[in-house]
Amino acid sequence: MNFFDYFPEFLDYINAKGHSVETIRGYNYDARAFKKYLKESGIPSTLSSIDHKIIRRFIIWMKKQNYSSATMKRKLDTLGSFYNYLEKEDGLLLYVIVSVKKLLGHKNLCTTQIQTHSSPEKLSSAVEALL
């Protein structure tokens, strides 16, 4: 399943929920930034290939692009919202994106705090400890 195949449906979904045109444009822009990162990094855009390590590298990439903390948080919030949509619509449960989304809500986050964990439960515990 290609990550970007479902994104137009997601945009329709948030439009139907009453989000503004500016929000929809922002989500689309954020997805394009993630797509650019994947392409530049040679990472396939399949949902199964995107894990917490990819997201951690995406954060580092955004820092190198000089994105502000607020911009990085918004882009990761967009990814988190998209994965939440997939979970609701297709029954996918992808802990890493949601956990990274929570992590980026923490004002003093630095990328070294994002750790590799062997299970969703351990990752969730680490996220809760940071919040």
CA dist., res. 82 & res. 100, Å (int): 13
The dihedral of CA 46, 38, 51, 29: what is its sign?
A: negative
pLDDT single digits (tens) 108-118: 443 333 333 34
Q: Which residue has the higher pLDDT, 33 or 89?
A: 33
Q: Choose the most confident range, by mean pLDDT, from 60-69, 74-83, 93-102, 113-122.
A: 60-69
Instruction: Answer yes or no: is pLDDT of 88 > 80.
Output: no
Is the overall model pTM greater than 0.85, yes or no?
no
pLDDT band at 56 (very low <50, low <70, confident <90, very high): confident
Contacts of 15 (CB under 8 A, 6+ apart): 24
Strand partners, 38: none
Q: Which structural domains are found in the chain, ordered by start?
A: 3-130 (1.10.150)
Task: Please report the pLDDT score of residue 87 as a whole number.
Answer: 72
Q: To the nearest whole number, what is the mean pLDDT of the chain?
A: 75
Query: What does the pLDDT read at residue 54?
Result: 87
- Print the SS3 string covering 105-116: CCCCCCHHHCCC
Q: What does the pLDDT read at residue 79?
A: 87
* Proportion of the chain above pLDDT 90, given as a percent: 38
Cβ atoms of residues 82 and 45 within 8 Å: no
Pairwise CA distance, residues 35 & 44, whole Å = 10
